[in-house]
Structure 1
Amino acid sequence: MIWEKFIGSEIGLSAWRRGAACRGGSVKTSSETNRHFPAQTKAQIGRVWARISAPDPNRPVLQAFQVKAPDRHEASVGRSGMSMPVPPKGIPPAFGCTIHEKETTMSHTDSTEFVLAGVVMKRLLCGQQTAGQFCLFENRSDGNTKTPIHVHAKDDETVYIIEGELKAVVDGQPQRLAAGESIFLPRGLAHQLMNTSGKPCRYILIGTPALFDRFLEEAGHERRPDEVVGPPTPAEIERLREAAPRFGITLLSDWPPAE
């Protein structure tokens, strides 16, 4: 099955091993992990995958793939590159995120939408649902968005483009990402994501470990019904600036740039 390949990737298996070691459990090989992986978790991940890869004639279909963990001091771009840590059974309450009118168990996905820096971010999984190992978002940019140049001290990010294109400025070097391409952004590396193409872009964002989901709740806002999302207001910019240091995020330049 494609998800057995997906969750058996080196990055996912590494995260599983770390979690098992912390819990005092045994560490299994990749083949053992695939054979004995809990059916409940397979079903949970499968439902998320079905939602983000449903057939759509207007966009490419996501493919399952594997990738080796890149050097933590370099960003890697390629036609394959997204990998998920494997969530263990059991959900400690310490990795809290707010899920309205839903049980916070592994049998449910989330669909709450937030707005940050003009980007709509749909939360698919938060840290409370993955024992803090990762959070998962489907993001949408209308074609005129920029994040501040920033550095994460406590978490890594992985981006996979579903449709459209995105420009990632990594350590001062611009890199164009088209549909089907991905990039790994390790902590400690300055980066910026922007879409100035004038066309919509949809992409998957994975934060490891789960930290960005809690940052988003404080730095952004939950999207209101019928809200038309535009450039961030001065109040939204100030809220982002205030929240960033609490989650190990450093903003490196004036943002948004002066006109």
Structure 2
Amino acid sequence: MSRNYYLQKSPFIVPTDDDKYIAEHVGKATDGNDKLSIAHMVAPPGWSEPAQTPEFDEYTLVVKGRKKVVVDGDTIILNAGESIKICRSTTVHYSNPFGEPCEYVSVCTPAFSLEKAHREV
């Protein structure tokens, strides 16, 4: 019997050294998909990553908490229930300077890869 769906019960848990939780449900690490990635993430209080200028569009939907996004000199605070699209080739810096975890979903097209993120050193 053929199925016209794929149920993801075991996302790939990305190892991190900054206490950020990343569970990739669709993408290069999980199923080899290089066109799209979908990840569930939790950024702990005080978390920050280097600015990046990725080769992919990134959509972020905040589920709980808040996330700080700096793009093109604008500082945006995303609250639970809000989303943002960052277009490829745009420099963006993500952080959680707040006192509570930020839970969110990230969708990248094409799929996220560290090589295509072009993070600053």
Q: Give the shorter-chain TM-score range.
A: 0.7 to 0.9
The within-5 A match list for 1:98-247 is 107-109=6-8, 110-116=10-16, 118=18, 119-127=20-28, 129=31, 131-152=33-54, 154-210=55-111, 212=112, 214-215=113-114, 247=115
* Distance apart, 1:169 and its partner CA: 0.5
- Counting matched residue pairs gives 116
Task: Name the SS of the counterpart of 1:151 in structure 2.
Answer: coil
TM-score of the superposition, structure 1-length normalised? Answer: 0.41
* Distance apart, 1:113 and its partner CA: 1.4
| Higher radius of gyration, 1 or 2 | 1
Task: Name the SS of the counterpart of 1:133 in structure 2.
Answer: coil
Alignment correspondent of 1:249: 117
**Higher helix share goes to which structure?**
1
Cα RMSD of the aligned pairs, angstroms, is 2.1
Task: Name the SS of the counterpart of 1:189 in structure 2.
Answer: coil
Q: Tell me which amino acid in the other structure corresponds to 1:149.
A: A
How much identity, in percent, do the aligned residues show? 22
Specify which structure has the bigger relative contact order, considering alpha-carbon pairs within 8 angstroms and separated by 6 or more residues.
Answer: 2
Q: Would the aligned equivalents of 2:26 and 2:33 in 1 still touch at CA under 8 Å? A: no
* Distance apart, 1:150 and its partner CA: 1.3
1:158–1:117 distance in 2 versus 1, CA, 3 Å: farther
Which ranges in structure 2 are unaligned for 5 or more consecutive residues? none
* Distance apart, 1:131 and its partner CA: 4.6
CA distance in 2 between partners of 1:115 and 1:131 (Å):
19
**Higher strand share goes to which structure?**
2
Which ranges in structure 1 are unaligned for 5 or more consecutive residues? 1-38, 42-106, 216-246, 255-259
Task: Name the SS of the counterpart of 1:157 in structure 2.
Answer: strand
Q: Would the aligned equivalents of 1:161 and 1:177 in 2 still touch at CA under 8 Å? A: yes
Between 1:112-121 and 1:163-172, the stretch displaced more is: 112-121
